[in-house]
Amino acid sequence: MATVAFGSIKSQIETTAPPRGLWCDFPLGRPLGVPSDPEFQHRVLAKAFELLDSPEPIFAEYDVSIIDDENEVMACPMPPRHDPDLHPAIDEAKGLRPAYERSVAQYGNRVGAGRVVQADEITDAIDAFVKIAEGTPWKEAGVPGIPARVSQDIRGYYETAALALSDHAPPAWAGTRWFLDHTEAGRVLMNARQAMADAGEPNPIWFYMAPGDR
Amino acid sequence: MADSDIKALTADLDGVKFDETAFTVPVPLTEAKVAIVTSASLHHPDDEDFSPMDTGYRILRSEPRDYVMGHWSPNFDATGFALDINTVFPIDRLDELAAQGVIGSVAEEHLAYAGNQFDLSAIRLDSGPSGAKFLKEQDVDVVLLTPV
């Protein structure tokens, strides 16, 4: 079998030196570049298949780069505060549920809740992180699984809901920045992560709750 | 937070270096059966989720296209795949190329591994060769490797 390996990080695919390697300077998580753009994806595939004509190992660079501007954030109209007796993050998550369901109906549940926490349990999971952020040791807070995996379900729930609140395909990372920096649940998660770090918990327990540059 | 910052975190990791390059000349593309192997930890909803440092693979059937992402890493954008599976797993695009006669055919089964690995020895010695054998038994000629 002949292989064509796409690479997102130039140094890595250069070092590994596969028989046919194509470095595409696209954001991590988007090896074909642009979602919902068949023409763009076909151009990338055409370049990949072109490498099969080489009579010897070959490394190529795709001639279009997609650079994350570091600042773009999804613009999502957030639900108004509904129940002032609830923690703001829990009220927020409940308010996003209709958007989440619309998104799942339209696209499927590809990255949303369900790894360890179902959509019905998202607010309980957020509540556990609220407790941690307020000082409860994480093992006593009722986190319903490995914190990193639970965090993924919460982030996935929010990013999936956001797709239904936006009218265009978001740039890479715009959904993550929105979740971490512009939602109550994102703030709770980051505060809980910091509390676990400050409490001296082992790095793998809290570090992977958020992208590694946070 | 930026994509470049995340890439910088991993750019200097030691990559695998091979003494020899396993180079193969394929049949003409118009006759080739093409499969996708992705490191995006995709699986069908009813199949086993990936565990931490899971070195196995999951078989991805061409239908139904109900793939979910079981990746453990937080270090990539997932909204692209959430909107369009082809951003990671270009199965619709391959179907179109087969219909146009650009490629011979599309494999009925593909493979997904977990890309967030710390020790590659089990994949190199076990699940990697096993996956390759699985694809060869399907008479796959060309494999596209897509990373996440």
Q: How far is CA A29 from CA A121, A174, B24, B103, in A?
A: 27, 13, 28, 25
Domain spans, chain A: 5-61, 88-209
Check if A166 contacts B (Cβ < 8 Å): no
Check if A165 contacts B (Cβ < 8 Å): no
H or E element at residue A33:
none
On whether residue B23 sits in a domain, the answer given is no
On whether residue B2 sits in a domain, the answer given is no
What DSSP line would sit under chain B, residue for residue? Answer: --HHHHHHHHTTSPPP--SS----PPSPGGG-EEEEEESB-EE-TTSPPPPTT---EEEEESSS---EE-----SS--HHHHH-GGGT--HHHHHHHHHTTSSSEE-SEEEEEBS--S--HHIIIIIHHHHHHHHHHTT--EEEEE--
On whether residue B96 sits in a domain, the answer given is no
Check if B141 contacts A (Cβ < 8 Å): yes
Tell me whether residues A19 and B132 touch, CB distance under 8 A: no
Q: What per-residue confidence (pLDDT) applies to B71?
A: 94
Check if A160 contacts B (Cβ < 8 Å): yes
pLDDT in tens, A160-189: 999 999 888 899 999 999 999 999 999 999
**Distance to chain B for A138, nearest Cα, Å:** 20
Check if B117 contacts A (Cβ < 8 Å): no
On whether residue B101 sits in a domain, the answer given is no
Q: What per-residue confidence (pLDDT) applies to B32?
A: 98
> In terms of pTM, does the model score above 0.90?
yes
Contact B77, A173 (CB under 8 A): yes
pLDDT in tens, B52-92: 889 999 999 999 999 999 999 999 999 999 999 999 999 99
On whether residue B68 sits in a domain, the answer given is yes
> In which band, very low, low, confident or very high, does the pLDDT at B127 lie, cut at 50, 70 and 90?
very high
Check if B52 contacts A (Cβ < 8 Å): yes
Closest CA to A202 of A122, A136, A139: A139
For residues A150 and A147, give the distance between their C-alpha atoms in angstroms, rounded to a whole number. Answer: 5
> CA of B144: which chain A residue's CA is closest?
A4
What are the tokens at B41? Answer: 């930890």
Task: Enumerate residue ranges in chain A where pLDDT < 70.
Answer: none
Q: What per-residue confidence (pLDDT) applies to A64?
A: 97
Tell me whether residues B11 and A213 touch, CB distance under 8 A: no
Tell me whether residues A115 and B70 touch, CB distance under 8 A: yes
What are the tokens at B67? Answer: 């793939």
What sign for the dihedral angle of Cα A168, A121, A98, A106?
positive
- Which phi and psi (to 5°) does residue B143 adopt? -120, 130
Question: Which chain A residues contact residue B143 at CB under 8 A?
Answer: 1-4
Tell me whether residues A16 and B6 touch, CB distance under 8 A: no
At how many degrees (to 10) do helices A88-95 and A147-165 cross?
Answer: 50
Tell me whether residues A68 and B79 touch, CB distance under 8 A: no
Neighbouring-strand partners of residue B68: B43
- Which phi and psi (to 5°) does residue A148 adopt? -65, -40
pLDDT in tens, B1-56: 789 999 998 877 887 888 889 899 999 999 999 999 999 999 999 999 999 889 99
**Distance to chain A for B80, nearest Cα, Å:** 5
Q: Please count the residues of chain B.
A: 148
